[in-house]
A and B are shown apart, each in its own frame.
Chain A
Amino acid sequence: MENTKWDEGRLKNWASLTFRVGIAISLALVVIGFIILIYISGFKDIQPLVRLEEIPAAIVISIGILLLLLIPMAQVILSTVFFSMSRNRLFIGISVAVLCLSAVSLVMALT
């Protein structure tokens, strides 16, 4: 039986917060990395491939990009928790399946 305290409206509030906080943090990191890159390389054209002195900028930007790509996955984890709390078995199964499928690509990217 579903627990109505954990309704979908509440899930949407948390989802919105996750998206907004996630995008703010990841975008901040990308902007900081970009500023470091400009500081190191100046305003001239650059090579897409990272040079040694540009590594700090590349690391900060890459962490920002990784966090950005993890926001939708965090969203699915949040949904799984909510459906677990509301004891909605069908959607626990669906959200876990989505999580597993997207984890395949994440594991590949990190290996």
Chain B
Amino acid sequence: MNDINLWALGGVGLVAGLLGSMLGVGGGILIVPILTLAFHLPIQVAIGSSLVAIVANACTASGIYTKVRLTNIKLGLILETATIPGAIIGGFAAVFIAPSILSALFGLVLIYVAYTMVTRRHFISVDNQPNDHSVAPNNTSDGLSSSLADSYYDRSLDKVVDYKVNRTATGLGTSFFAGFLSSLLGVGGGIINVPVMHLLMGVPMKAAIATSTFIIALTAATGAFIYQYYGNIHPFIIAPLVIGIVIGSRIGVELTQRTRGALLRRIFGAFLFLVAILMFLKTANVI
């Protein structure tokens, strides 16, 4: 591996945390391509580092979300029974899949995230929440629905939002895939969890984001342990990344209130398209 500049790595963490919290995307979507394209680190090392940084970010956010009672811990635990096996399998798969294929898969995920940003189909953006109280439980409730029901106080609506959870089996299936993708590519998995919880399971957006963050913390930690097993966790790469991402996400939360989210999302979406192209070029050994 090449020599690395610790301050530049800290800067990557800072920007990933900043944009991640402002745009509602996990930092991994930025960390992995930058570490592979700019720092020329092996993609497995980049993914392992990204997973640890994601744990730091998710734990910081979960501390806040659980304090304001947004996290549905019971739902989080149920979905973790699926995300964790997915994360273990994804971690093993990443070792056996050729780096060029991993780069190509990452490029495809980047294009999906960029598309959702540019075309306003941004399921995971905090500042685009529909009226949470409009989410009504449907008739497909299963037996778990009543025990997973939860409520939280919504400051913007000045009311308590009650909700039930539907289609738990569907949620478990997609959660397995989210865990697999998270561990395989070093992304949070929120790009799958949040829309599934909100659109399919009837969880209000704010609670879906908080619960997804709770799930991501353990899922990414599980994946990171597998990468550690294969020697892809390097403390000197991770330290500046973790420090940067925690500081960046704190600043991002503050800046979110003052910036024009829609414009920023489109610019970032276009940037991700460019990064996706670079990842494909790397796959083809052009760069």
Interface residues of chain B: helix, strand, loop or mixed (majority): helix
Chain A residues closer than 8 Å to B271, beta-carbon distance: none
> Do A27 and B52 form a contact, CB below 8 Å, given A50-B235, A61-B235?
no
Chain B positions within 8 Å of A71 at CB level: 55, 59, 217, 221
Main secondary structure of the interface of A (DSSP, over half): helix
Given the interface pairs A15-B66, A33-B235, A65-B52, the reply to whether A45 lies near B243 with Cβ below 8 Å is: no
Q: How many A-B contacts if CB must be within 8 Å? A: 170
Instruction: Verify B246–A27 contact, CB threshold 8 A.
Output: yes
Q: Does B56 contact A (CB under 8 A)?
A: yes
Q: Which residues of B lie under 8 Å from residue A101 when comparing CB positions?
A: 80-81, 84-85, 88, 222
B60 at the interface (CB under 8 A from A): yes
Least distance between B227 CB and chain A CB atoms (Å): 8
Q: Which of these, B3, B67, B228, B240, contacts A109 with CB under 8 Å?
A: B228
Residue count of chain A within 8 Å CB distance of chain B: 56
Given contacts A34-B239, A68-B56, contact A15 B225 (CB under 8 A): no
**With an 8 A cutoff between CB atoms, is B44 at the interface?**
no
Partner pick for A61 among B67, B228, B239, CB 8 A cutoff: B239
Docked complex Cα distance between A31 and B56 (Å): 13
B77 CB–A CB distance under 8 Å: yes
Residue of A nearest to B233 (CB): A65
Partner pick for B229 among A11, A38, A108, CB 8 A cutoff: A108
Tell me, yes or no, whether B101 is within 8 Å of chain A by CB.
Answer: no
* Chain B CB within 8 A of A23 CB: yes
| Chain B residues whose C-beta falls within 8 Å of the C-beta of A75 in the assembled complex | 214, 217-218
Question: Looking across the interface, which residue of chain A has its beta carbon closest to that of B238?
Answer: A65
Specify the chain A residue showing the minimal Cβ separation from B247: A27
B 223-236 to A, binary, CB cutoff 8 A, 1 in contact else 0: 11110110001111
* Given A46-B3, A46-B236, A101-B85, CB of A27 within 8 Å of CB of B243: yes
Cα-based distance from A60 to B233 in the complex (angstroms): 14
Is there contact, CB below 8 Å, between A48 and B236? yes
Name B148-195 residues within 8 Å CB distance of A: 150
| B133 contacts the other chain (CB 8 A) | no
Given contacts A50-B235, A75-B217, contact A23 B3 (CB under 8 A): no
Q: A27-B242, A34-B243 are in contact. List 14 more A-B contacts (CB 8 A).
A: A8-B73, A16-B62, A16-B64, A19-B62, A37-B6, A48-B4, A71-B217, A98-B81, A101-B85, A101-B88, A101-B222, A102-B218, A105-B229, A108-B225
